Chain A
Amino acid sequence: DADVTQTPRNRITKTGKRIMLECSQTKGHDRMYWYRQDPGLGLQLIYYSFDVKDINKGEISDGYSVSRQAQAKFSLSLESAIPNQTALYFCATSDFRGTQYFGPGTRLTVL
C-alpha cells in the first residue's frame, strides 16, 4: 500500500462549490504539507503542519483552508472554488531530515 494517499484522484467541480481534498499517511511523520502544481511554475506551498496543533500558511494560502484531524490526516478545503484554482494538488509528509514524500496527486478542474 502507498505511504501517502490522496482522495479523490480527479475532481471536476463548478465555480462557487466547496471542495475538500483528503490526505492520509502511514509513515508516522508529524510534518505534512499541501502544494499545488501549475505548468511552468513548479510546486507552490499552500499550507503546512508540524503537528496536530500547528498549522501554518504557505506562499499561496488565500482561498484555501486546512484541517489536521490526526497525525495521519491532513485535509485541504476550497471554500468557494474558482477557475484559477484548477491545478494538480499534492500532499507530502516529511521526516526529521527534511526529506519529503509525496502522494500521487489530485487533479482538480473548476469550471
Chain B
Amino acid sequence: AQSVTQLGSHVSVSEGALVLLRCNYSSSVPPYLFWYVQYPNQGLQLLLKYTTGATLVKGINGFEAEFKKSETSFHLTKPSAHMSDAAEYFCAVSIIQGAQKLVFGQGTRLTINP
C-alpha cells in the first residue's frame, strides 16, 4: 500500500528566504507524485506533478520538486518566499496500475513572516 509522510505540520520562513517542504513516500510500484496547494477557503490546486522522465519538476508560482527514488522523497522548494505563498501544502502519491487513487499526506501549513 502507498503512504505519504510530510515532515512538519507547520513551517515558518521569512519573506525572501528559501522554502523547503519535505515529503517522503512509500510505494511498491513506480509512483506518480503530486504537490497541491490550498489557499484559505479554497479547494486544492495542482502545483506540480512527477510521472516519468526528468526528476526535477517545475510547477506554478516558482515552485519545483525533485523525485529522488533512492531516498523515496519528493521535496518541494522555492528559492525566495513571497507573502502570497502562505497556504497549506499537500503531497500525494498515486499508483499507475489499477485504481487511480491519490493518497495524501497530512499537509504542511506554510507561514511567511514579513
Task: Return chain A residues, CB-CB under 8 Å to B90.
Answer: 42-43
Task: Return chain B residues, CB-CB under 8 Å to A102.
Answer: 36, 43-45
Question: Which residue among A31, A45, A90, A99 has the maximum number of chain B CB atoms within 10 Å of its CB?
Answer: A99
**Is A98's CB under 8 angstroms from B32's CB?**
yes
Total A-B contacts with CB atoms under 8 angstroms apart: 53
Choose among A45, A98, A103 the residue that contacts B43 (Cβ–Cβ < 8 A). Answer: A103
By beta carbon, the residue of chain A nearest B51 is A97
Given contacts A43-B104, A98-B32, contact A104 B43 (CB under 8 A): yes
**Is B46's CB under 8 angstroms from A101's CB?**
yes
Task: Return chain B residues, CB-CB under 8 Å to A105.
Answer: 42-43
Given contacts A31-B100, A56-B99, A58-B101, contact A41 B42 (CB under 8 A): no
Task: Return chain A residues, CB-CB under 8 Å to B34.
Answer: 99-100
Interface size on A, as a range, is 20 to 34
By beta carbon, the residue of chain B nearest A45 is B101
Task: Return chain A residues, CB-CB under 8 Å to B42.
Answer: 104-105
Task: Return chain A residues, CB-CB under 8 Å to B100.
Answer: 31, 94, 98
Contact residues, B83-105 vs A (CB, 8 A): 90, 94, 96, 99-102, 104-105
**Is B105's CB under 8 angstroms from A98's CB?**
no
Task: Return chain A residues, CB-CB under 8 Å to B96.
Answer: 98
Tell me the bound Cα distance from A33 to B92 in angstroms. Answer: 15
Tell me the bound Cα distance from A92 to B45 in angstroms. Answer: 11
Given contacts A94-B100, A98-B100, A100-B102, contact A42 B107 (CB under 8 A): yes
**Is A98's CB under 8 angstroms from B44's CB?**
no
**Is A42's CB under 8 angstroms from B105's CB?**
yes
Contact residues, A34-50 vs B (CB, 8 A): 40-45, 48, 50
Task: Return chain B residues, CB-CB under 8 Å to A97.
Answer: 32, 51
Residues of A bordering B, CB below 8 Å: 4, 31, 33, 40-45, 48, 50, 56, 58, 90, 92, 94, 97-105
Would you list 11 pairs from A and B whose C-beta atoms are within 8 A, ordered by A residue? A4-B43, A44-B104, A94-B100, A97-B32, A98-B94, A98-B96, A98-B102, A100-B44, A102-B36, A102-B43, A103-B43
